[in-house]
Amino acid sequence: MKQRTVTRNGKRYVVVADSDFAKLAPGAKAGRLPAYPPVDANGNSPAIEFARVSIARQIITERREAGLSQAELARRAGIRVETLNRLEKAKHSADVSTMKRIDGVLRILHRSKKDSGGKAVVTVRVGDVEIEHNYATRTTRTFIPFGRARNSAVAKRERKDVAS
């Protein structure tokens, strides 16, 4: 791999060939969003294609902000991964029910993240029970004091309290 160092405005940069950069940054392609359709001489673009790309870009952006993969978003929305993939590539138009499912999942995730105050980990206490939700890893853990977890009646009551 040939490289060259360049200094601009006091900052050093490394110049590498495109092929080498592709090897170094395999996720670079994943960061791309579908391109909007070309504009004609009058400044117009095809409406359906433009709408598909706009929707695809919004889904991709919100999915990434939520930290979900396509498979996870599709599972939570109750749709096929292939359907979500086609929508994100702006190859197909979604029906209203599919968009409602996707939007519902993304809104719930956005709302719960907003309620956390931007914190990565939120801890809630209910009596002696502690519930911790980690937004970065998307995991929830429940901590119950050792002696209380053995009594099933107490454990059921705690689960009921936590759910409400």
The answer to whether the pTM exceeds 0.75 is no
- Enumerate the domain spans of the chain: 46-115, 121-163
In this predicted model, which residue has the larger pLDDT, 150 or 61?
Answer: 61
Q: Residue 135: how many CB atoms within 10 A of its CB?
A: 17
Report the chain's mean pLDDT, rounded to a whole number: 77
The CA-atom distances, in angstroms, between 25 and each of 12, 55, 57, 141 are: 19, 27, 22, 34
**Where would I find the H helices in the chain?**
18-24, 47-66, 70-77, 81-88, 96-115, 146-149, 152-163
- Partnered with residue 132 across adjacent β-strands are 123, 141
> In this model, does residue 19 exceed pLDDT 70?
yes
Q: At how many degrees (to 10) do helices 47-66 and 81-88 cross?
A: 120
Query: What whole-number distance in Å separates Cα of residue 121 and Cα of residue 117?
Result: 10
pLDDT of res. 94: 86
Architecture of domain 46-115: Orthogonal Bundle (1.10)
pLDDT digits (tens, 9 = 90+) for 33-85: 899 999 999 988 888 899 999 999 999 998 988 888 999 999 989 999 999 99
pLDDT digits (tens, 9 = 90+) for 100-121: 899 888 887 776 655 555 556 6
